[in-house]
Amino acid sequence: MLESVTPLAASAVALAMPLILAALGELVVERAGVLNLGLEGMMLLGALAAFATVAHGGGLVPAILAAAAAGILASLAFGFITLTLQANQVAAGLSLTILGAGVSAFVGRQYVGFRAPASFEDLPIPLLSKVPLLGPSLFSLNALGYATLALLAGTAWFLYRTRAGLALRSIGESPVVARSLGLHVSRVRYGAVAFGGAMAGIAGCYYAVAQFKMWQEGLTSGNGWIALALVVFATWRPLRVAFGALLFGGVSALGLYLQAIGVQVSTFALASLPYLATVAVLVAISADQQMIRRHAPASLGKPFHDDS
């Protein structure tokens, strides 16, 4: 039994990592009251930047930096349009997704079919990686995977244990009140948006240089949207985001596993399983309106200008 569950758990964790990265970033953005639907686009731009860096002989650290920088640049463009120019956040976010998909497909044409000359490989921690079940899944991650766990803990700590995190959450609830207390609404929101961009870019880097290790068009395959949904499903809480990502990763891994052992099910049905499972859980959670209402940042998606 354990022999079949262990690899399943390991691949569930591996599949969950980039989702956690992207969703954590978006969680911080939304907690500050900004809705950035451009997650998928920023991930694709990050993936492209990372892949191009390694393809042209750059190392893995420069790849991460390039991915984060690409995400930040894209997110700051979004921030300028929505926070400074007060444009509609939904429209701007969707445009960002379309732009990211287009640019990455266009610039990435030259890399199609390339294998990444350098990539993130698993780094098992001695002893801990030998623990049954948990060892192979949690303690033999690649460097980005460990970084994800650290960022998860760091984000939760930041949001709930620091003054800046409290200020960010408060701004998401009521920018008007926040300003009357002397908090810098726009500054904090720009910071949150940039953080979300960096995290999305690194998530893209994960897909390009740690998971697929080769370039293909649209390699994030809609996972940016899953990450967005996870934030809501997790009622804007970091640990629940991780749980949701593991659930999605687990169902994805199960599908791949069933296929591998030769269960006669349509591959399309299997491929759609994780999405169906996520939708089912989302609907179940959203049925409790109280839950969503109590936790949703009250000013989410609403424009606010610092001047009175």
Q: Of 145-153, 158-166, 261-269, 275-283, which part binds other proteins (CB under 8 A)?
A: 158-166
Single out the segment in contact with other proteins by CB under 8 A; choices: 61-69, 84-92, 98-106, 160-168. Answer: 160-168
Dmax of the chain from CA atoms? 65
> What tokens were used for 169?
């959450």
Residue 56 sits in the site that holds other proteins (CB under 8 A):
no
Stretch that binds other proteins, among 22-30, 159-167, 204-212, 260-268 (CB under 8 A): 159-167
CB of 228 to other proteins, least distance (A): 21
**Does 240 engage in binding with other proteins (CB under 8 A)?**
no
Distance of CA 57 to the CA centre of its chain: 26
Q: Is 294 in the site for other proteins (CB under 8 A)?
A: yes
The reply to whether 182 sits near other proteins by the rule CB under 8 A is yes
**Using an 8 Å Cβ cutoff, are 133 and 8 in contact?**
no
Cβ of residue 182: shortest distance to other proteins, in angstroms?
3
Residue from 129, 158, 173, 292 touching other proteins (CB under 8 A): that is 173
Residue 120 CB, nearest approach to other proteins (Å): 36
166 binds other proteins (CB under 8 A): yes
H helices of the chain, in order, are 2-31, 39-55, 60-79, 89-108, 134-138, 143-161, 163-173, 175-180, 185-205, 223-233, 238-260, 267-286, 289-295
Q: Which of 169, 189, 213, 240 binds other proteins (CB under 8 A)?
A: 169
What DSSP character marks residue 116? P
Question: Is residue 174 near other proteins by the rule CB under 8 A?
Answer: yes
Among 107, 133, 181, 269, binds other proteins (CB under 8 A): 181
Number of residues that bind other proteins (CB under 8 A): 19
Taking each helix axis as running N to C, give the angle between helix 60-79 and helix 185-205, from 0 to 180 degrees, rounded to the nearest 10.
140
Q: What is the total residue count of the chain?
A: 308
Which is nearest to 144 in space by CA: 218, 46, 219? Answer: 46
The two tokens of residue 116 are: 């990444």
| Minimum CB distance to other proteins, residue 244 (Å) | 21
CA 96/CA 113 separation, integer angstroms = 26
Determine, following the binding rule CB under 8 A, whether residue 180 of this chain makes contact with other proteins: yes
CA 13 to chain CA centroid, nearest Å: 14
Is 140:123 a contact under the CB 8 Å cutoff?
Answer: yes
Contact set with other proteins (CB under 8 A): 162-163, 166-167, 169-170, 173-174, 177-183, 294-295, 298, 308
